[in-house]
Chain A
Amino acid sequence: MIRISHLSKVYPGGVTALRDISLEVRPGEVISVIGPSGCGKSTLVRCIEGLEAPSAGTIETGSSRLGMVFQQFNVFPHLSVLDNVTLGPVKLRGIPREEAEQRGMELLRTVGLAEKARRMPDSLSGGQKQRVGIARCLSMDPDVLLFDEPTSALDQTMKTEVFGVISELAKQGMTMVIVTHELEFARKVSTRVLFMHDGEICEEGTPEQVFDHPQKTLTQIFIRNRRSLIFQVDSREYDLYKFNADIEWFCQRNHLGKKYFTLELITEELLTHFLPFSGPIHFRIYLNDEKKLAMEIEQESCSSPIVDSPEADEISLMILQGLCASIRERQEGASRFLDIVVNDVYNQD
């Protein structure tokens, strides 16, 4: 359906966004493109859509029609929801207005917005706008749908709305290329996952291959980092609110619900009563192989026990032990490590 060969893109400023990319999109495929920010994944779909001119290489789309869904929705604010989905058919394909409106209502029904047909887009939420954007694409009967980070500008509930619509389209066999940061969603919906790094396709395969058994180091680091939270504390004057906000965001992203509360208690207890601040402290919060919430803490320039120390406050120690399923301490060079598995009892929502 789409055949890309040796595609390169260099922006006028000299920034190379894509290097020699070759890719084939076959009918019925749902391809997710993942990768760190600035890896060129957005540029790739923008090139396919024709919004950016390639610097080298070719993109063959044959007779297939493409539609694109944008990160910022780009719905037409001067037209009602229904007019947004009839503008293309009426003006571009000469379909009579009545027929176009009937079809438009059907499309709005499929994205769940039929009752909002007469509303202006400015009165809709972000998730609803994005669904209008999808319906507008569908109004032109595309063969391939391209999504450029369709949920990045949305909060969790709105993301879920939009994911629902995209999953439904996937079920109906729509061919799609989705640029996204949502790994869990990509795993559920895709038939193929591309991991891009620095303008190149670094690794590709089924979701299981890429997410669970990545072959390339870059992919491994990316997947692991996406699933862990890293935070560094240098002194007692650390930014508590930033740390807590990061923890909450991490939990939200990994669908861990209210578990952030337990994590916050543990980190606060450790920072207030146990860690000696003998040097920088590195926190890594992650899901271990048994899908349990775990934490690794490295205290630099420390060789004495932290939790097992005789000076430890008894009450604090009791609280900490109650919050954690296990606490293990080890020494590596000049650093003292704590390995903690969070207690499941407190992991209930």
Chain B
Amino acid sequence: MGRRAFRLLGCLLLLLLVVSCASEKRREIRACSDLEHGNVGVLTGRSNDRAVRALFPDAELYYFEDLVSMCMSLQSGHIDAFACMETGVDGLLARNPGFRVLEGVPEILDTAAVAFREDNLLLAGQFNEFLRGILADGTMDAIRANWLAADAPGVHYHPHAKEGTPLSVGIEAGQTFFTVIREGEGAGLEPEMMLRFGDYLGRPVRFVEMTNPGMIPALFSGKVDALVSAIAPTRSRAGRVLFSTPYDISPVCLVVAGAAPPQVRKSAWSSLKENFHESLIADNRFELILEGLKNTLLITFLSVIFGFLLGCGLCWMKRRGPRWAEAFSHGYCEIVEGIPIVVLLLFMFYVVFATSPLTAIVVAVITYSLHFAAGAAECLERSIESVDKGQWEAGKALGFSRFGTFRYVIAPQAVRQFLPLFKGKAVGLIENTSIVGFIAIEDMTKVTDIIRSQTYDSLVPLVVVGVIYFLIARLISVGLDKLGDHLNFKVK
């Protein structure tokens, strides 16, 4: 009873902490001078950090991976302002009633261009040709109006080209104003522009969603033909990739949070309800979460199974294999356990399987299986060694083969030690799968990012997904406990 009460108390405390952290506290910024020692957010991979640096040499810069997190941080007062391109800022202001653009900022231009592989001169040339065309005939203005104005209709563009080699384009949903994800499809200025470019070439376009750290390696390794994510063509990057002419040039502006208008201040409960609806029900976003859950479960369970089988092999090599196999197994486990899983994942996807036709999910399963194998081997070895050596001798003396002894004498005893160890490793694996978004898999965590980018609300999707992760972990751990009870000695 007491334990249950404490557990409940712990959950309540945690919830309180979350709610109190989500409450707002911010400093009013009225003029540029207020920001001189302020905290300014910028997006990684754009050039506006240099603009901010030039304007406010003493300001503290905070680098964000996506626009949503940056908006959230401004909302909560962690930063005083953030920098972004003026293009599309109207749409952002419309969605965040408290935000406004800081007046009187000296004009510094920021540009966005498409990145191609260095040797892909042909494609870059074709794009520049196409871009010149749409800038001249007003198509670009129409696209802009469709997506970026305060009351933009956001009509999907339906491409004509269906046949031919697909053009794969790396995008980052929610990173900028230019790309959002709606109903599972890329939407926004950049996707529409690229779809039209596809039509211009007569090739269908395949969007590959990725996160910033993985983009450039993906381009190098040929996973994608082009990257569009409001990338600024800086000189240091130009040495490694080929940039198109800019499709957008606009001044850098600074967004600050004013006092929220009174009509926006609803009761916490009704705003939570609204956020809940927005995050899960509207546009059938729960389907996205279910899709993410499917991928998370698929990767987790396949990796546990294959990893366990591989682990058995490694353990056998350690215990019974020839010298070289033993050495290999030891070395393998040490190396794999010593490398952060995210590094291993990126290495597998962008180096080892860079040119293979395997899908990202297959690569993820391979990577997690290889990683999990090391852990499983360690669990197996430790649990087998926990059984007294005399038991092997007793089995042999009775007439069992080595395998028979293992099967009937050692394994039933070792499993008691094995299950708790294995449980920890398996739960760790589920948690580890939350980084597969790095290689463009839409797992639960990645899906949360996408939903956050659409709704500009973090609390509900993060809590929902957090609860789902927790439930899967509990399920595995309770399942293994039950299995353990089932196999336990029937002590009388």
Q: Judging by beta carbons under 8 Å apart, are A92 and B409 in contact?
A: no
> Which of B399, B491, B492 contacts A140, CB < 8 Å?
B399
B396 within 8 A of A: yes
Q: Provided the pairs A80-B490, A87-B398 are in contact, do residues A70 and B412 lie with their beta carbons within 8 angstroms? A: no
Q: Provided the pairs A51-B397, A92-B398, A136-B398 are in contact, do residues A78 and B404 lie with their beta carbons within 8 angstroms? A: no
* Distance (whole angstroms) from the CB of B404 to the closest CB of chain A: 7
Binds B, one of A17-25, A116-124, A276-284: A116-124
Which residues of A from 74 to 100 have beta carbons under 8 Å from B?
A: 74-78, 80, 87-88, 91-92
B388 within 8 A of A: yes
A88 CB contacts on chain B under 8 angstroms: 398-400
B390 CB contacts on chain A under 8 angstroms: 70, 72, 74
Report the bound CA distance from A88 to B489 in whole Å: 19
A72 CB contacts on chain B under 8 angstroms: 388, 390
**10 smallest A-B Cβ distances: which pairs?**
A74-B394, A74-B390, A68-B397, A78-B412, A88-B398, A78-B413, A92-B399, A120-B491, A72-B390, A78-B489
Q: Judging by beta carbons under 8 Å apart, are A120 and B391 in contact?
A: no
A207 within 8 A of B: no
> Which of B397, B398, B409, B492 contacts A118, CB < 8 Å?
B492
How many B residues have CB within 8 A of the partner chain?
A: 19
Report the bound CA distance from A122 to B404 in whole Å: 23
Extra contacts, 6 of them, besides A88-B399, A91-B408, A133-B394 (Cβ < 8 A), are: A70-B390, A70-B394, A74-B390, A76-B394, A77-B413, A140-B398
Q: Provided the pairs A76-B409, A120-B489, A123-B492 are in contact, do residues A91 and B396 lie with their beta carbons within 8 angstroms? A: no
Q: Provided the pairs A70-B394, A74-B393, A76-B391 are in contact, do residues A122 and B399 lie with their beta carbons within 8 angstroms? A: no
Which residues of B from 369 to 400 have beta carbons under 8 Å from A?
A: 388, 390-391, 393-394, 396-400
Q: Judging by beta carbons under 8 Å apart, are B492 and A92 in contact?
A: no
Q: Judging by beta carbons under 8 Å apart, are A122 and B397 in contact?
A: no
A67 within 8 A of B: yes
A50 within 8 A of B: yes
Report the bound CA distance from A22 to B394 in whole Å: 26
Chain A minimum-CB-distance residue to B489 = A78
A106 within 8 A of B: no
* Distance (whole angstroms) from the CB of A150 to the closest CB of chain B: 13
Which of B388, B397, B398, B404 lies at the interface centre, i.e. has the most chain A CB atoms within 10 A of its CB? B397
12 A–B contacts, CB within 8 A, in A order: A49-B397, A65-B399, A67-B397, A68-B397, A70-B397, A72-B388, A91-B400, A91-B408, A92-B404, A120-B489, A123-B491, A140-B398
Report the bound CA distance from A93 to B329 in whole Å: 37
Chain B minimum-CB-distance residue to A79 = B412
Which residues of B from 184 to 206 have beta carbons under 8 Å from A?
A: none
A87 CB contacts on chain B under 8 angstroms: 398, 408
A residues near B (Cβ < 8 Å) are 49-51, 65-68, 70, 72, 74-78, 80, 87-88, 91-92, 118-120, 122-123, 133, 136-137, 140
Chain A minimum-CB-distance residue to B393 = A51
* Distance (whole angstroms) from the CB of B256 to the closest CB of chain A: 69
Q: Judging by beta carbons under 8 Å apart, are B489 and A74 in contact?
A: no
Q: Judging by beta carbons under 8 Å apart, are B394 and A120 in contact?
A: no
Q: Judging by beta carbons under 8 Å apart, are A70 and B393 in contact?
A: yes
Q: Judging by beta carbons under 8 Å apart, are A74 and B491 in contact?
A: no
* Distance (whole angstroms) from the CB of B391 to the closest CB of chain A: 6
* Distance (whole angstroms) from the CB of B398 to the closest CB of chain A: 5
A136 CB contacts on chain B under 8 angstroms: 398
Which residues of B from 61 to 102 have beta carbons under 8 Å from A?
A: none
Report the bound CA distance from A26 to B134 in whole Å: 105
B491 CB contacts on chain A under 8 angstroms: 120, 122-123
Report the bound CA distance from A136 to B412 in whole Å: 18
Interface mask (B22-61 → A, CB under 8 Å = 1, otherwise 0): 0000000000000000000000000000000000000000
Interface mask (B391-435 → A, CB under 8 Å = 1, otherwise 0): 101101111100010001100110000000000000000000000
Report the bound CA distance from A66 to B397 in whole Å: 8
A118 CB contacts on chain B under 8 angstroms: 492
A50 CB contacts on chain B under 8 angstroms: 396
Q: Judging by beta carbons under 8 Å apart, are B492 and A119 in contact?
A: yes
Report the bound CA distance from A119 to B492 in whole Å: 6
Report the bound CA distance from A119 to B408 in whole Å: 19
Q: Judging by beta carbons under 8 Å apart, are A77 and B489 in contact?
A: yes
B397 CB contacts on chain A under 8 angstroms: 49, 51, 66-68, 70, 137
Report the bound CA distance from A323 to B189 in whole Å: 113
Which residues of B from 461 to 492 have beta carbons under 8 Å from A?
A: 489-492
Report the bound CA distance from A136 to B409 in whole Å: 14
Which of B398, B412, B489 lies at the interface centre, i.e. has the most chain A CB atoms within 10 A of its CB? B398
Q: Judging by beta carbons under 8 Å apart, are B409 and A51 in contact?
A: no
* Distance (whole angstroms) from the CB of B486 to the closest CB of chain A: 13
Chain A minimum-CB-distance residue to B394 = A74
Report the bound CA distance from A88 to B400 in whole Å: 8
Report the bound CA distance from A263 to B178 in whole Å: 101
B399 CB contacts on chain A under 8 angstroms: 65, 88, 92, 140
Q: Judging by beta carbons under 8 Å apart, are A92 and B393 in contact?
A: no
Q: Provided the pairs A50-B396, A70-B390, A120-B489 are in contact, do residues A91 and B404 lie with their beta carbons within 8 angstroms? A: yes
B413 CB contacts on chain A under 8 angstroms: 76-78
Which of A49, A67, A76, A80 lies at the interface centre, i.e. has the most chain B CB atoms within 10 A of its CB? A76
Chain B minimum-CB-distance residue to A71 = B390
Report the bound CA distance from A65 to B397 in whole Å: 10
A133 CB contacts on chain B under 8 angstroms: 394
* Distance (whole angstroms) from the CB of B352 to the closest CB of chain A: 41
Chain A minimum-CB-distance residue to B412 = A78
* Distance (whole angstroms) from the CB of A90 to the closest CB of chain B: 10
Q: Provided the pairs A50-B396, A51-B396 are in contact, do residues A120 and B492 lie with their beta carbons within 8 angstroms? A: yes
Report the bound CA distance from A92 to B403 in whole Å: 12
* Distance (whole angstroms) from the CB of B332 to the closest CB of chain A: 27
Chain A minimum-CB-distance residue to B400 = A92
B388 CB contacts on chain A under 8 angstroms: 72, 74
Report the bound CA distance from A78 to B408 in whole Å: 10
